[in-house]
Amino acid sequence: MSDHDERATRQTVLEVTPLTPSLFTLRTTRAPGFRFRAGQFAQLGLQAADGQWIWRPYSMVSAPHDEYLEFFSIVVPDGAFTSELCRLAPGDGLWVGRQAFGYLTLERFADGRDLWLLASGTGLAPFLSLLQDFEVWQRFERIVLVYSARTVAELAYQPMIRSLAEQEHLAEFADKLIYLPVVTREPAPGCLNARITDLLDSGELERAAGLALSPEHSRLMICGNPQMIEDTRQRLKARGMQLSLSRRPGQIAVETYW
């Protein structure tokens, strides 16, 4: 058995869907024994043209109950991994780690009334998985999804987000979701038009959600650009909110994997 067989299974690409010149989604088969919690990520592996093996962490977009795995990726200019990943076609192979990892799971929080999901770019992926999971809708009274992209064209998965409440097992919770799309580099009707950090500073994010952020009621998950995560964390820390750790419950969970 090779090292790859021990750490991963070879899955088959089912479809690759370009969204913009720099964004695409990729769907693969799923190993029967692969288990994950909504919000987790897996290591994806492929062999580059020079024979080198490359591994990168990717959050699952798909729900834990789906029979396939779906991933959301950006094409990094001259990126060793994404330039190979985006060239895959149906029938090609992709290695998927046998174990899932990650902190953007519901067990990070012991309590809370409102769940805020703050995403930039492909950081949306784990939240899409979470929002397809029945448990998150049961646990929280309000779920605020804040999704920031540079342009309207880069706001991915819009039909899926808007149809969440139409899924049969979620229909009774339709009024719980507050969706706030954010576009930073062009005016966009129906979207907020500033960085998430600026929206926090001005209070516009809370006004748009119709909810106040507070250590008592708010639980926040943040995924995306590392600088956005750090800047947002600092602002929340100043308001009495801290990372939720196994030894110390808190209000914030983050995932930074690039």
Q: Where are the domains of the chain?
A: 3-97, 106-255
CATH of 106-255, one of 3.30.479.30, 3.40.50.80, 1.10.645.10, 3.40.190.10: 3.40.50.80
Low-confidence ranges of the chain (pLDDT < 50): 1
Element (H, E) at 232: helix 226-237
| Amino acid 78: pLDDT | 85
Return the CATH number of the domain spanning residue range 3-97.
2.40.30.10
Q: Structure pTM?
A: 0.94
Domain 3-97 and domain 106-255 have a common topology: no
Sheet containing 252-255, strands listed edge to edge, beginning at the edge strand earlier in sequence: 177-183, 142-149, 114-120, 218-223, 252-255
| Amino acid 1: pLDDT | 35
Contacts of 2 (CB under 8 A, 6+ apart): none
